[in-house]
Amino acid sequence: MCGIIGYIGKSGDTGEILIEGLKRLEYRGYDSAGIAVVNDNKLTWEKTAGKIHQLEEKCREIDLSGCLGIAHTRWATHGEPNRTNAHPHFDCGERIALVHNGIIENYRTLKKSLEAENHRFITETDTEVLAHLIEKYYSGEGLEYAVQKALQIVEGTYGILVISATEPDKIVGARNGSPLVVGVGEGEFVVSSDVAAILKHTRQVIYLEDLQMIVATPEGFNTMTIENEYVEHIIQEVDWDLEMIEKGGFSHFMLKEIFEQPDTIMNAMRGRLIPATGDAKLGGLNITEEELRAIRRIVLIGCGTSWHAALIGEYMIEEKSRIPVEVEYASEFRYRNPIMEDGTLVFVISQSGETVDTLAAQREAEKRGAECMGIVNVVGSTIAREAKRGVYIHAGPEIGVASTKAFTSQITVLALLALVLGRQRIISSAEGQRIIEAMQAIPGHVEQILNSDGSIKEIAEKYHHHNNFLYLGRGANYPVALEGALKLKEISYVHAEGYPAAEMKHGPIALIDENMPVVFICPRDNAYQKILGNICEVKARNGKIIAITNEGNKEVIEMADHVIFIPKSLDFLYPILAVIPLQLIAYHIAVLRGCNVDQPRNLAKSVTVE
């Protein structure tokens, strides 16, 4: 969480550039924000509780021109989101300014000893110790050396940017556990948590590794470790462009991303299907036939929506390859002494590639000897780089905090993985061809579902005042129910529960009355007959039934209050289709309830704290 950005260059409009960059990072945190620039050996700063536009308002009254500066958008961990606790933080003399993404774990001890040395603290944050530590070590040797000394004694995670009024031509950045990307432009450098804030300036970037630093001046830059060892950097070209991170005429990023899904699902499959033989090829796995044969067990790890994708992956892989699959919450996996025997292959699933629990689980699995592969969206992210092998889902930048297109792309890639593993074991070439044909039809099917947005919106209009929802599905559509409920909770603050439809009898059925909308995911798959019984049970108790099923399904039409149709497909691919109406229901309900769809309260897109 938290987004940081620093700019150094000849533009002179540093304030504007930084605020513009913060807007691109706002998804990472949006409870307070701040900015500092150095001009003429003078530090000018502003901060505020609230969103970037509030900071922008305040900044109109001050001169933020200059050649370098730093800025921050916050998701509070230590200390409430007020103006004092907002970044940047300063040393006693207010000569040094610092922004930080991460958590300094030993800040209490450090704070005590710094206070004993007469450093004055004014915030409740963990970050402030860093500013004072740097002050303590700042001598004639230069800012970077003070930063190095400070970082050598802190424990925890950080992406930081530091400036000093004493050295008005230098930005120092460092990372450990939180991302930091350096954009290398023409006579300017932009350093940020995410390439989204850099793209306007350049597509040439360097991804810093953990414990590495950058020192940038208008003339050039150096990279090194925090132990001051020289580091050779590699400049890479980002293949995202500015248009991809704009709203493109949609009222919210979330809606834009929902509507992008025919393309993003196609992108997840592009070049990976071999229709002639019924095979799929996932080049990034770089896996030999022998390695494939040696797999005895697969573990899928993720958080939030990525964890739901993993649950669907479990159904897909087990059904198509008969390899046993386990799904783990990343946050639980690392603390429960997991067993990683020979033949276990771990897939780490993450949209951002930066979720700290997922990254820690990946490291834990590797430490225990497991081979870890990534299923990641953000190219060059920490999880992707540490995994070395894996599959990019190629969904493009996802800005809306509630994940939508990344989810369907993750499931698409998991379906491809099931096909790869299945073809090697139990799936014939002819069946592989049938699967490929069905997969190729998915983008068109999604398009068709999106065309029914008008009637989905009408359902949302009818139910948006309700404060409880139940989502029910069976088999691979049970995780879809979980995902539908999560979407509603995340963006409209409505209580919703996802449940396996038959389990409803063991508790949630007590909640059902005429005020309870129940969303059934019931395509004509192998669980269909069974779920009809569950629909009857809800109907008998006057629950309001919203059903997602196939066109022309008379039985369900007769029983349900509302029906949303999805085209016919293979059973194991229904989750990709069934989730689309659920995303739209959540979106419309959130808008109707006046919620901030793209930036729901208390959440952040990329959770980089435990």
Give the interface with ligand G6P as residue ranges (CB under 6 A). Answer: 303-306, 350-352, 355, 358, 401-403, 603, 605-607
**Please, what is the minimum distance in Å from the beta carbon of residue 548 to ligand G6P?**
21
Closest CB to ligand G6P among residues 330, 548: 330
End-to-end CA distance of the chain: 10
**59 annotated active-site:** no
What's the CA gap between 549 and 565, in Å, rounded?
Answer: 5
**536 annotated active-site:** no
The helix/strand/coil state of 309 is: helix
Closest CB to ligand G6P among residues 157, 351: 351
Peptide bond into 397 cis (omega under 30): no
Closest CB to ligand G6P among residues 101, 358: 358
Closest CB to ligand G6P among residues 278, 304: 304
Closest CB to ligand G6P among residues 405, 562: 405
Strand partners, 498: 471
**Please, what is the minimum distance in Å from the beta carbon of residue 309 to ligand G6P?**
8
* Six-digit token string for 52: 């970037």
Half-sphere exposure (Cβ direction) of 206: Cα atoms closer than 13 Å: 26
Closest CB to ligand G6P among residues 471, 565: 471
51, 136, 320, 605: which one is catalytic?
Answer: 605
Strand partners, 4: 72
Q: Please, is 233 exposed, middle or buried when counting C-beta atoms within 10 Å of its C-beta (0-12, 13-18, 19+)?
A: middle
Strand partners, 220: 217
**Please, what is the minimum distance in Å from the beta carbon of residue 74 to ligand G6P?**
16
**Please, what is the minimum distance in Å from the beta carbon of residue 522 to ligand G6P?**
25
C-alpha triplet 417, 401, 266: angle, nearest 5°: 35
CB atoms within 10 A of CB 38: 27
Closest CB to ligand G6P among residues 192, 352: 352
What's the CA gap between 486 and 582, in Å, rounded?
Answer: 10
Largest CA distance in the chain: 81
Distances (CA, A) of 284 to 95, 281, 382, 384: 47, 9, 16, 11
**Please, what is the minimum distance in Å from the beta carbon of residue 62 to ligand G6P?**
33
Peptide bond into 88 cis (omega under 30): yes
* Six-digit token string for 180: 């930091």
**Please, what is the minimum distance in Å from the beta carbon of residue 348 to ligand G6P?**
9
**For the stretch 557-588, what's the b/e string if a residue is b when 16 or more beta carbons lie within 10 angstroms of its beta carbon?**
eebbebbbbbbebebbbbbbbbbbbbbbbbbb
Q: Helices marked H in 281-368 — which ranges? A: 289-293, 304-321, 330-333, 356-367
Task: Give the residue nearest to ligand G6P (CB).
Answer: 304
Closest CB to ligand G6P among residues 18, 300: 300
**Please, what is the minimum distance in Å from the beta carbon of residue 303 to ligand G6P?**
4
DSSP class of residue 524?
S
Q: CA Rg, the chain, in Å? A: 25
The helix/strand/coil state of 490 is: helix
Any residues with CB less than 8 A from the CB of 377 and at least 6 apart, and which? 350, 351, 352, 353, 392, 393, 394, 395, 398, 406, 409
What's the CA gap between 549 and 577, in Å, rounded?
Answer: 10
What's the CA gap between 283 and 264, in Å, rounded?
Answer: 18
* Ramachandran angles phi, psi of 213, nearest 5°: -135, 160
Closest CB to ligand G6P among residues 273, 310: 310
Closest CB to ligand G6P among residues 303, 373: 303
CB 497 within 8 A of CB 517: no
**Please, what is the minimum distance in Å from the beta carbon of residue 492 to ligand G6P?**
14
Q: In what order do the strands lie in the sheet with 544-550?
A: 495-500, 468-473, 517-521, 544-550, 562-566
The H or E element containing residue 565 is: strand 562-566
2, 59, 303, 522: which one is catalytic?
Answer: 2
CB atoms within 10 A of CB 64: 22
Q: 3-class secondary structure for 146-179?
A: HHHHHHHHCCECEEEEEEECCEEEEEEEEEEECC
**Please, what is the minimum distance in Å from the beta carbon of residue 410 to ligand G6P?**
8
C-alpha triplet 189, 378, 196: angle, nearest 5°: 35
Closest CB to ligand G6P among residues 351, 412: 351
Q: Residues with catalytic annotation?
A: 2, 605
